[in-house]
Amino acid sequence: MQASSPIHRIALYVRVSSEEQREGQTIDSQIAELERFARERGWVIADIYKDDGWSGGMLARPELDRLRDDASKARFSGVLVNDVDRLARDVAHLGVIKRDLERKGIQVIFRKLPAENSPMRNLMVNILGSFAEFEKELIADRTRRGRRHKVEVRQRFIGCIPPYGYQYVRTGSKEGEDGILRVNPEEAVIVRRMFQWVDEEGFSARRVISRLNQTSILPRKGASRWAKSSVLRILRSQVYAGTWHYNKHESYEPERSSRNHKYRRSLKSSTRRRPRADWLPVTLPEALRLVPHDRWERVQDRLTQNISFSPRNSKHAYLLRSLVRCAGCGARFVGEPCHLKFYYRCLTRCKKVGTVQEGDLDNTVWGAVEKALLNPDLVIENIAKLQEQNNGRSEEVAAQAAEIEKTMEQLQMEESRILEAYRQEIITGAQLGREIQKLEARRASAQALQNQLPKEVPRPLLPKARIMELVAEFCAQIGSRLASIQPEEKQQVLRYLVREIIFDGSTARIRAIIPPGGIATTTPYLRGRNPDQQENEEISKNERNKCYQPQESLHPSRSQDGGLAFELIEEVHRNVEARAAASRANLVKANAALQKSRESAPRNDRAGEVEIR
C-alpha cells in the first residue's frame, strides 16, 4: 500500500439512479455537500464528474470512465465521493474501481467515512460495499413486489406508455405517483373502426393499413404512414376488450447487441415475452372498453385464418387449403406437387390416410356443398338431426355433472365425520391419515372425471320454423350466385361456410355452419396486382396502392356465433380411368425410348434387355 500524500487538487464524483430520482433525490444536493466538504479542508476542485440517471450496478458509465482516464493523466490527486454506494453497488466493481485509482496514485475519499488510510477503513469500505449491493437487490425486490401488489390485489393500472386509444394522466405533481388511464376520444374512434373493418367487412391487416393511409389518418408519433407492426399490435391487444396484462415481458441480456453503443444504462437491454401463465390480468372499468369482447375474439380468429389463407404462403392456389384434416392423426392436409400434378397429403405423413389428388377431393367437396345449397330441405333435415343429437349429449353431460357434484358432496361429508371421530378420540392419528388418503384418492378420481366433461354445452334446439327461415334465406343469397361463380369465389364460399373437412381416405366429412347474419360484399384489395394489365407492364407505386379488383368477395356480415351447424358425408370419387390412361401413356413412352436406345446401341450390348409390356 502506498503512503498517502497531501491532496491539493481533488475531483468530485456524484451519481444518482433513475429510481432514486423518482424518490426525490437529486444530484445537485450531492454536489453542494461535497463542495462544502472540500472548501472546509482547503482543497481545490479540479472537475466534477456527474453520472445522472445511471445505476450503481453498471461498471461502464461515461463519467466514471472519464474520471479514470483523467486519473491516468494526473489531473488531480484525490477523488471525493459522498458514500460507498455512490461509487458502485457491486462489491466486485467497487474493488476494481478503487484498486485502479489507488494504483495510479489517486486517493479515494468517502465523505461519510474516516479519512485515515488503515486496514479498519478498508474493511469498512468492503462491508459498506456489500450492504450497498444488498440494498440494490432489496430495492429491486421491493419495487417488484409493490408493483405486483398493486396489480394483483388492488387491480391498478401501472403507469407505462399507454396503448393507442388511451392516455395516462398523472393525479399528483410528484414524479412516480399513481395516475389514471383515460380514453383518448379521437384515437378511440379509429380503434373501433379498425376492429369493425376486420369483423364486419373481413379486412386483413394489410387492407386496414391501406384504408388508414388512404383516409389520411396518421399514427400517434406523427409518421406519414402506418406500419404493419403497429396495426397488428392494436388488433391483437386485449386491452381494448377490457383486460390489461402485467408481467407480459421480461428483460434479458442479449448475447450480441444490435446496437453498437459503448454505454448502456442496463445490461438487460432486450425484452422477450413470458409464458402466458405468468401474465397478471387486470380487469379495466367498463368505460375503458372500446371493443366488445365477442368482437375482439372474432377479430383474433380472422387474423389467425388470414395467416393460413394468405396467398403469399403458397405457390399454388389449392381450393381446400387449411380446411382438410387427417382422420388418422388429426393433422392438417397440405398441398404436395408431384410430376406437374397436385395432391393433398397429411402434414405429419402418418401413413394412416393416403394422398388424394387435388381434383378428386375438390370436386367431391364442392359438389356436396353446391348440392346442399341448392336443396335447403337437405340442410334443414341435417341441422335438425344434428341438434337433436347435441341436445341428447347436453342432457347426458348435465346428468354426469350432477352425479359428480353429488359424489363430491358425499366425500366432503365423509371427511367431516372422520375428523369428528378423530376429535372424539374414536380413531387414532394413523387411522385418520389412512382414511384421509383414501378420500383424497376418490376426490382426485372424481375431479378427473369432472375435467373430462365438455366445457361448452351445445345450444338448445331452435324451432324448426326458425331453422327453415334462416336456411332458406342463406341458400337464396348464395344459391343465386352459384351459376356464374368464378373459381376464386368458390374458395371464398368454402372458407365462409366450411369449418373443417375430415378425410379418411375414402370419404370426406364436411363440417359446416350457417351463420345467422347475411352475406356482405366488399371489393378485395389486390396488394398491387392489376389483372387488367399485362404481366410485364410496370405500375407506379401510387397506382399500385389504389389497385382494386372489380369483383366482389363474400364474408359474414355479423357474428358466426349461434350459427346452425350441419355435416355432409360424401364419398370421394377418384378418376381411375384417367389414372389408367396416364399409366398406359407412360408405358408407351418408356417402350418407345427403349426401342430407340436399342436401335442406336451396338448389337453386342443388347443382350439381357426385356421389352416392357
pLDDT tens, residue by residue, 224-274: 889 888 999 999 999 999 888 888 888 777 776 656 666 777 666 678 888
pLDDT higher than 70, residue 528: no
* Chain position carrying cell 407505386: 541
| Average pLDDT rounded to a whole number, residues 111-131 | 77
SS3 42: coil
Of 588 and 393, the one with more pLDDT: 588
C-alpha cell at 484: 356464374
| Average pLDDT rounded to a whole number, residues 282-303 | 89
Closest CA to 59 of 9, 29, 100, 24: 100
Contacting residues for 150 by C-beta, under 8 A, at least 6 apart: 156, 158, 178
pLDDT for residue 296: 92
As beta bridge partners, residue 568 has 510
What CA–CA distances, in Å, run from 12 to 65, 97, 108, 239, 467? 14, 15, 10, 48, 85
Backbone angles phi, psi at 47, to 5 degrees: -165, 160
pLDDT for residue 427: 85
pLDDT for residue 252: 74
pLDDT for residue 191: 93
Q: At the top level of CATH, which class does the domain 9-151 belong to?
A: alpha beta
DSSP state of 461: P
Average pLDDT, the chain: 78
How big is the chain by its Cα radius of gyration, in Å?
Answer: 37
SS3 476: helix
pLDDT for residue 290: 93
**Helices 376-423 and 429-452, axial angle in degrees (round to 10):** 170
How far is Cα 365 from Cα 572, in angstroms, rounded to an integer? 8
pLDDT for residue 326: 92
Closest CA to 457 of 399, 393, 515, 385: 393
pLDDT higher than 90, residue 93: no
Q: How confident is the model at residue 12 (pLDDT cuts 50, 70, 90)?
A: very high
**CA dihedral for 112, 118, 119, 120, sign (positive or negative):** negative
- Burial of residue 150 (CB within 10 Å: 0-12, 13-18, 19+) is middle
pLDDT for residue 503: 93
What is the DSSP secondary-structure string of 188-206? Answer: HHHHHHHHHHHHHH---HH
pLDDT higher than 80, residue 387: no
CATH number assigned to the domain covering 166-242+284-306: 3.90.1750.20
Contacting residues for 356 by C-beta, under 8 A, at least 6 apart: 343, 344, 503, 505, 572, 574
How far is Cα 244 from Cα 78, in angstroms, rounded to an integer? 52
How far is Cα 306 from Cα 261, in angstroms, rounded to an integer? 39
Distant-in-sequence contacts of 370-379, Cβ < 8 A, 24+ apart: 370/482, 372/512, 372/566, 372/568, 373/475, 373/478, 373/479, 373/482, 374/475, 374/479, 374/482, 376/468, 376/471, 376/472, 376/475, 379/471, 379/475, 379/514, 379/566
| Average pLDDT rounded to a whole number, residues 401-419 | 86
SS3 211: helix
pLDDT for residue 552: 43
How far is Cα 439 from Cα 365, in angstroms, rounded to an integer? 53
pLDDT tens, residue by residue, 126-175: 788 787 778 878 887 787 888 888 887 778 887 678 889 998 887 765 55
How far is Cα 419 from Cα 432, in angstroms, rounded to an integer? 8
pLDDT for residue 21: 61
pLDDT for residue 456: 54
**CA dihedral for 255, 257, 263, 269, sign (positive or negative):** negative
pTM of the model: 0.57
pLDDT higher than 70, residue 324: yes
